[in-house]
Amino acid sequence: MADGSSETKSSNQMWGGRFASGPDAIMEEINASIGFDKKLYAQDIRGSIAHATMLAQQGIISAEDKDKIVHGLNTILSEIESGSFEFSRRLEDIHMNIEARLAALIGPPAGRLHTARSRNDQVALDFRLWVKEELQKTEKALTTLIAAFLDRAEEHAETVMPGFTHLQTAQPVTFGHHCMAYVEMFGRDRARVRHAIEHMDESPIGAAALAGTGFPIDRHMTARALGFREPTRNSIDTVSDRDFALEFLSIAAIAATHLSRLAEEIVIWSTPQFGFIRLSDAFSTGSSIMPQKKNPDAAELVRAKTGRINGSLIALLTVMKGLPLAYSKDMQEDKEQVFDTAESLELAVAAMTGMVRDMTIRADRMKAAAGSGYSTATDLADWLVREAGLPFRDAHHVTGRAVALAEEKGCELADLALADLQAINPAITDKVYDVLTVEASVASRTSFGGTAPAEVRKQIAWWRTRN
């Protein structure tokens, strides 16, 4: 601490009343959270200012003491932000570091701040405020990513590419349609973020250690001052609950899973073998030995971030599993996972947004690939159903024979001679060639949510009004 006095091996000045001596060095090391929870300093100070203001309003502390406390806390805020604040591991965590400094700055009134409060509701408040702000940032970041996809989808509503199942060419789709699939995924992630903000929008402060308090506090006032919709309703649950952190981590894990699938596609698409896209120099790297290489490192790292984010979710679920009510020190292990996930997710979304905006779409390569691999076989089968009245199963069989013939001849379906097709089924006419091109194929998929350019444009318009 800046006052220096707390570095001697005496009992803790915050809770040391019944302790004759200080902690063993190992105890101090395992107990301290200041190394990571200092990240909560701004939330801690905001919470304390709201609490002190409420205590004064309720006549629990004097207005003069409140003024000194608020002034002292603001001084501490600037000390921390300017880097002059000295954090002490002996003072365990951010709450006691700030309170000890307040005592050094303003003397006895500092001791009144903790009236009707415990570190249990204090940490629940600080962490909740932090996670709420992070969720708000995530919502914005996802909105930016969705906007980048909407622009690319609009630009490429007519660009034909192969659609895949089992990573085998299945049917032609448009690149715009494929982009819009990601819009749906990230749109769901964002909806989950919004729900989570709604769930967690309750103020924990005033639950005290676990039972509430006999002081005439006004929890609605602190809730309002801190931007929460209302106070939490059960003081025991309030200090036991880390659902907001678990929800953040599970939302992040699902979003990271989506990002990893996109990352994987970018890696595949940018290979010379596929050549569907070219990544910008800004989002790729070279090789130190192979001069020809351009590696999709950013996409690979996004793909990998999913591992640590999923790990964080499992870690916190495991910490919380089987914990008796109410607070246990286990819960101090909730923060690092969340901080790490927040940083990883922010980076991953930002990198992906950049890649999506910057990548060059190689429409010629996409179209060539879309036309190979008998991707319009379903169109031939559908034509036989529609124009020749065949049951779909028979049409499927006839088409299978046409594909086998094309394979034998080493050509595409559209290159088969009419006579050859008629030998398989005499009902086939030269009108069939109209549906065998990839453009005709995608244009025909006009069902709601289908790949026809007109349909994709409708979906883009729908999302534009919601983004």
The correct pick among 331, 342, 380, 438 for binding ligand ARG (CB under 6 A) is 331
For strand 230-231 and strand 277-278, is the pairing parallel, antiparallel, or unpaired?
A: unpaired
Q: CB 36 → ligand ARG: shortest distance, Å?
A: 9
DSSP 8-state symbol, 163: E
The correct pick among 93, 99, 121, 202 for binding ligand ARG (CB under 6 A) is 93
* 284 assigned to active site: no
Closest CA to 384 of 403, 397, 370, 371: 397
Q: CB 322 → ligand ARG: shortest distance, Å?
A: 17
Phi, psi of 295 (to 5 degrees): -100, 145
33 binds ligand ARG (CB under 6 A): yes
Q: Which is nearer to ligand ARG, 122 or 270 (CB)?
A: 122
Please tell me which residue in 62, 287, 328, 372 is annotated as part of the active site. Answer: 287
Coil, strand, or helix at residue 83? coil
436 binds ligand ARG (CB under 6 A): no
List the alpha helices (DSSP H) in 321-414: 335-358, 363-371, 377-388, 392-409
Coil, strand, or helix at residue 18? helix
Coil, strand, or helix at residue 271? coil
327 binds ligand ARG (CB under 6 A): yes
Distance from C-alpha of 239 to C-alpha of 124, rounded to nearest angstrom: 6
240 binds ligand ARG (CB under 6 A): no
117 binds ligand ARG (CB under 6 A): no
Residue 448 CB contacts under 8 Å (≥ 6 apart), including other chains: 455
- Site track 351-390 with ligand ARG (rule: CB under 6 A), x = hit: ----------------------------------------
Maximum Cα–Cα distance across the chain? 101
Q: Which is nearer to ligand ARG, 126 or 379 (CB)?
A: 126
99 binds ligand ARG (CB under 6 A): no
Coil, strand, or helix at residue 230? strand
316 binds ligand ARG (CB under 6 A): no
Question: What tokens does 9 get?
Answer: 């091996």
Q: Which is nearer to ligand ARG, 333 or 346 (CB)?
A: 333
Distance from C-alpha of 364 to C-alpha of 369, rounded to nearest angstrom: 9
Tell me which stretch binds ligand ARG (CB under 6 A): 107-115, 117-125, 195-203, 397-405. Answer: 117-125
Closest CA to 174 of 453, 463, 457, 362: 453
Place of tokens 């690979």: 300
Q: CB 104 → ligand ARG: shortest distance, Å?
A: 20
What are the beta bridge partners of residue 171?
163
Tell me which stretch binds ligand ARG (CB under 6 A): 294-302, 327-335, 359-367, 411-419. Answer: 327-335
174 binds ligand ARG (CB under 6 A): no
* 166 assigned to active site: yes
- By the 8 A CB rule, do 300 and 288 touch? no
Size of the site for ligand ARG (CB under 6 A): 10
Please tell me which residue in 166, 240, 441, 447 is annotated as part of the active site. Answer: 166
Q: Which is nearer to ligand ARG, 32 or 460 (CB)?
A: 32
Q: CB 328 → ligand ARG: shortest distance, Å?
A: 9
- By the 8 A CB rule, do 150 and 265 touch? no
Distance from C-alpha of 40 to C-alpha of 36, rounded to nearest angstrom: 9
Tell me which stretch binds ligand ARG (CB under 6 A): 72-80, 300-308, 323-331, 366-374. Answer: 323-331
332 binds ligand ARG (CB under 6 A): yes
Q: Element (H or E) spanning 282, and its range?
A: none
Residues catalogued as catalytic = 166, 287
Binding residues (CB under 6 A) for ligand ARG: these are 33, 37, 93, 119-120, 123, 327, 329, 331-332
